Structure 1
């Protein structure tokens, strides 16, 4: 059996690409023939996967600054179509194609190539671009979760994009291009969910086959943290509006509390100016993050969007560190029901400030720390188990989407 793994980029700067490379590693170790299609230069594959057949387009992601030509190429990337078609024709082996990211470079054109072939197609839903034009199921203007039917007239007229309405129209058109591959195609592909609660948001279109395989991860620390003895409040993630950093900054300034905010992103400079009393260093090495996590009393995940999973929350829980999560996070109920942390009202700085103040209670934090560690032991499969289950999906042994 042959696997073709597809992703916009090869260099890990987020959870989606990290998971994509873990899929590639598990498949190679299981003896599958592997090939890769990436939209960037492929440099991120060389250290670990130098012997694997790689087709790299050498293009830049939209997030690095769209150009005029992107209006056409990122709606339907002809080079990506031809590359996908070429890989499919290279071998008569039974083939499974696993798509991770396509919205930044590869575009929906890859699905048109896949629709012409009999290869089994699996897509991991790291976000909601399978049916939502802006990918987040959120109105970036109001901050509210969007309940409008994707691609409806109300969706078309909604100015929900993070940039402007013209960009929303472009994204709407691209999603139509994607949908127009045909219901027969979308009805036969398999969707792997990072969290089971994603399914309700993706069933409004022609998608029919879903399975959940929670993303594997490792604890932030080498052993459980006695969080109730610590004093550090930590945010770890991308510094952007949808991750809720402005809500966190407002809550910290309302209360005068200090925190450590780790990560890069368009709002890094703004956060450094808004929080002069806090430690906002940008990105740090894994070793430094581990050291600071060992000093953590609580981790905050203030996302405005329906966070599909939130790996940093899982990593904190596995270390016995309680989390404060937004009500929009899909794991919010799980955290609350297992006494593993606190839930605040998404986008509400006063609500978050109230939960931050509650962390001053040592007795509460001791209980939440123990609850966090207990939940962390079962929140996600081990890396080895996850790898076996993913290969079982590819080969059909799991029964999901088997011929």
Structure 2
């Protein structure tokens, strides 16, 4: 089977890229032939170095690197991205069984959707966020610091000053959302949800559109080893981008109230204010370094998302290492936390978080939560191999619908001549 994975970057600078890179590696290890198409030049994750994995770079600019007017136009519709992608797909030496798109908001733009939909192979989209429905992508009111309740692209949505930057940015995002709807038209879409909450929420937001929903967990790539000893740690840890919608400020405030150190691994606009509150901010670190740091210093890992986050992966990775997790009631990661058994599920507010952090001063409780977290993870680990197996099962089912007859793991497919009429 030959699979094309499309993402805008080739290194894990965020959750979507991390999943794209890791899934590409997992598929290659499972015997599939993988082509990884990256939109923007930049660092390349070593995971993409595999004999069955071929990488194609389109050398497109990140819209945030362009002058404002050009970035706006390119973000709404990047015709050059469509042209380069079409040429790259035409040049592939083997026919494609399935196309899998992870991102399109930073360089690809909606312009690549018609290119992908016109191919004689199924297209799958993983929904790491809400861009398929919501203009700002996170279904969150930045003006009110709360989740959105409006129907995307309704008159009330268009009028809402919800963008984190300005009304002008909102207008550009609305233009991109409109272009996305035009690009997909009435074509049937197959989408993957990474949590049950996303499946329920996006099912409602996309109601009336020809979308088929599939549910596959993100992979958790943690080396198998003995559980950590979180009772020996001293800090509440946060790993990720330092923003208000992800609740980084809540961790600092709650830790201060509870009298615990706060350790932040990541960067973002709240960095200076977190340091001003006495928090330790160490910037981004390699995954292996983060894992070692958490095992040595973390009593718990906290992700108090204010928005309806579909992850984050840091919660799953903490549980896999035997470190208690504190998840927001609004995040998809809460589905993996057994409240009071493997961690705590808390409202994303400073008061409830401070109370939860205070409970973490009990060494016996922290040790018990950590042991249970590790045991629960080991019962059914969402490993990279399990993730790749689930993806391949979906790809094969969709390819069968397209009349693609597989010729083995590395061979190209044969087609029965009816594929072109299916879209």
TM-score (norm 1): 0.89
Structure 1 residues 152 and 72, CA, compared in 2 at 3 Å: closer, same or farther? Answer: same
TM-score (norm 2): 0.85
12-21 or 40-49: bigger deviation: 40-49
Residue of structure 2 in register with 1:178 after alignment: 180
Residue of structure 1 in register with 2:12 after alignment: 12
Residue of structure 2 in register with 1:253 after alignment: 256
Conservation of the 8 A alpha-carbon contact between 2:32 and 2:52: no
Conservation of the 8 A alpha-carbon contact between 2:316 and 2:336: no
Choose from 97, 100, 122 the match for 1:98: 100
- In the alignment, the residues of structure 2 paired with residue 382 and residue 402 of structure 1 have an alpha-carbon distance, to the nearest angstrom, of 30
Residue of structure 1 in register with 2:408 after alignment: none
314-323 or 112-121: bigger deviation: 112-121
- In the alignment, the residues of structure 1 paired with residue 142 and residue 388 of structure 2 have an alpha-carbon distance, to the nearest angstrom, of 35
Structure 1 residues 281 and 31, CA, compared in 2 at 3 Å: closer, same or farther? Answer: closer
Residue of structure 1 in register with 2:87 after alignment: 86
Residue of structure 1 in register with 2:374 after alignment: 373
Unaligned runs of at least 5 residues, structure 2: 405-423
- In the alignment, the residues of structure 2 paired with residue 299 and residue 234 of structure 1 have an alpha-carbon distance, to the nearest angstrom, of 5
Conservation of the 8 A alpha-carbon contact between 2:23 and 2:219: no
- In the alignment, the residues of structure 1 paired with residue 164 and residue 137 of structure 2 have an alpha-carbon distance, to the nearest angstrom, of 11
What is the DSSP-based 3-state SS (H/G/I as helix, E as strand, rest coil) of the residue aligned with 1:385?
Answer: helix
- In the alignment, the residues of structure 2 paired with residue 327 and residue 9 of structure 1 have an alpha-carbon distance, to the nearest angstrom, of 30
Conservation of the 8 A alpha-carbon contact between 2:236 and 2:255: no
> How many angstroms does 1:78 deviate by?
0.7
Unaligned runs of at least 5 residues, structure 1: none
1:383-402 maps to which residues of 2 (within 5 A)? 383-396=384-397
1:217-296 maps to which residues of 2 (within 5 A)? 217-219=220-222, 222-275=225-278, 278-295=279-296, 296=298
1:38-53 maps to which residues of 2 (within 5 A)? 38-41=38-41, 43-44=43-44, 48=49
- In the alignment, the residues of structure 2 paired with residue 330 and residue 381 of structure 1 have an alpha-carbon distance, to the nearest angstrom, of 15
Q: Give aligned pairs, total.
A: 398
Any idea what the Cα deviations from partners look like across 1:182-224, whole Å, max 9, x if unmatched? 4431x2x211121122112212221521211111113488321
Residue of structure 2 in register with 1:201 after alignment: 201
1:132-211 maps to which residues of 2 (within 5 A)? 132-185=134-187, 187=188, 189-203=189-203, 204-205=205-206, 206-211=209-214
> How many angstroms does 1:33 deviate by?
4.1
372-381 or 321-330: bigger deviation: 372-381
Conservation of the 8 A alpha-carbon contact between 2:28 and 2:50: no
What is the DSSP-based 3-state SS (H/G/I as helix, E as strand, rest coil) of the residue aligned with 1:303?
Answer: coil
> How many angstroms does 1:84 deviate by?
2.6
Conservation of the 8 A alpha-carbon contact between 1:322 and 1:341: yes
Conservation of the 8 A alpha-carbon contact between 2:251 and 2:262: no
Choose from 112, 130, 133 the match for 2:132: 130
Structure 1 residues 239 and 179, CA, compared in 2 at 3 Å: closer, same or farther? Answer: same
RMSD: 2.7
Residue of structure 2 in register with 1:26 after alignment: 26
> How many angstroms does 1:378 deviate by?
4.5
- In the alignment, the residues of structure 2 paired with residue 114 and residue 10 of structure 1 have an alpha-carbon distance, to the nearest angstrom, of 19
Residue of structure 2 in register with 1:309 after alignment: 311
- In the alignment, the residues of structure 2 paired with residue 377 and residue 321 of structure 1 have an alpha-carbon distance, to the nearest angstrom, of 13
- In the alignment, the residues of structure 2 paired with residue 220 and residue 51 of structure 1 have an alpha-carbon distance, to the nearest angstrom, of 23
Q: Which one scores higher on RCO, CA 8 angstroms, separation ≥ 6?
A: 2
